[in-house]
Amino acid sequence: MTQHEPVHPVPTLRLPSGERVPILGQGTWYMGEDRRSRREEAAALRLGIDLGMTLIDTAEMYASGGAEEVVAEAIEGRRDEVFLVSKVLPGNASRRRTIEACERSLRRLRTDRIDLYLLHWRGRYPLSETLEAFAELQKAGKIRYWGVSNFDTDDMEELVGIRGGAKVATNQVLYNLSRRGIEFDLLPWHRERRIPIMAYSPIEQGRILRNPTLQRVAARHGATAAQVALAWILRQGDIMVIPKASRPEHVRENRAALDLTLTAEDLAELDRAFPPPTRKVPLEVL
């Protein structure tokens, strides 16, 4: 076995539908912005698929559709291997415009279906209207499941109270060592209902990697600070994590985080450096 081959397969979690998806996927925020980098970005995503990170998250907002085009290149000939996630902007979330936005995303992704389609954040359109569009898209086979992003606990309560709202498959939110607010109420709310969280920006776009405690824990394991930050979330087993990596070495680094087991001492040290919340914290977004 070479040092780059993963030791274990990517663990999965169960969506409310019963379908299993990898807990470690790939994000695409900031991909597709420079046409000169698109080939390398697509190659990185393909490597991730090879390594079992077959959940790929994108959005119509990212590079104004450019990220979806990168994903299309990455999954060409491999569509059935991938669990594809995309998002509709709140400004497009009326009944008619959600359907139109989805069809545009399908064209950019060069596929006939999106596995999981999310409302990117709340906007001016009633949630009931967006849900009607999601139901219509499901009926047409254009999306398989739907979910939301950047919804706090009260938003989720409102959502599941709407007709059809209890079918929500996930809530994609900001969650990492330095942004632990969801642990107070949102994460327990989700766990009680078995609706998994999808964590974006798990290394805070690199900003937490210089933290001395993170570096110390990493040094003990012969790992990187990014791997410790990812392993800290992944150890929970019921959260999907979608780090972005546009270079092969970062893809491999992210994948290897699954083979890192943090000790009780590590976790206590990280709690001291990044204290868990003791009260309700409004949902943070990037």
Tens digits of residue pLDDT in 16-50: 999 999 999 999 999 999 988 999 999 999 999 99
**Residue 66 main-chain phi, psi, to 5 deg:** -65, -35
Domain that holds residue 192: 20-206+230-247
| Res 6 pLDDT > 90 | no
Per-residue pLDDT tens over the stretch 81-116: 999 999 999 999 999 999 999 999 999 999 999 999
| Res 7 pLDDT > 80 | no
Q: Bin 76: left if φ > 0, else alpha if -120 < ψ < 50, else beta.
A: beta
C-beta separation of 9 from 52 below 8 A: yes
pLDDT given at position 229? 98
Residue 174 in any domain: the answer is yes
Kindly state the average pLDDT of the residues 7-12. Answer: 85
Q: How far apart are CA 207 and CA 107, in angstroms?
A: 35
Kindly state the average pLDDT of the residues 118-123. Answer: 97
Among residues 84, 154, 173, 91, which one has the least CA distance to residue 125? 91
| Res 223 pLDDT > 80 | yes
Could you tell me what percentage of the chain is helix, strand and coil, using 3-state DSSP and rounding each to the nearest 5?
Answer: 45, 15, 40
pLDDT given at position 36? 87
Q: How far apart are CA 274 and CA 268, in angstroms?
A: 10
Q: Spell out the residues 6+ positions from residue 29 whose beta carbon is closer than 8 angstroms to its own.
A: 59, 62, 67, 200, 201, 244
Q: How far apart are CA 171 and CA 190, in angstroms?
A: 9
Residue 4 in any domain: the answer is no
Kindly provide the residue ranges of all beta strands, DSSP E only, lying in the chain, ordered along the sequence: 12-14, 20-22, 26-27, 55-57, 83-88, 114-119, 143-149, 171-174, 197-200, 239-241
Kindly state the average pLDDT of the residues 65-69. Answer: 96
Residue 3 in any domain: the answer is no
Domain count, the chain: 1
Residue 284 in any domain: the answer is no
Kindly state the average pLDDT of the residues 189-194. Answer: 98
Instruction: Name the band, by pLDDT with cuts 50, 70 and 90, for residue 272.
Output: very high
Residue 281 in any domain: the answer is no
Residue 234 in any domain: the answer is yes
| Res 285 pLDDT > 80 | yes
Kindly state the average pLDDT of the residues 256-284. Answer: 97
Q: How far apart are CA 263 and CA 271, in angstroms?
A: 12
Kindly state the average pLDDT of the residues 134-151. Answer: 98
Per-residue pLDDT tens over the stretch 249-260: 999 999 999 999
Instruction: Name the band, by pLDDT with cuts 50, 70 and 90, for residue 4.
Output: very low
Residue 33 in any domain: the answer is yes
Q: How far apart are CA 109 and CA 16, in angstroms?
A: 25
Side chain identity, residue 36? R
Q: What is the CATH number of the domain that holds 140?
A: 3.20.20.100
pLDDT given at position 1? 30
| Summary mean pLDDT of the chain | 95
| Res 184 pLDDT > 90 | yes
Share of the chain above pLDDT 90, in %: 94
Residue 220 in any domain: the answer is no
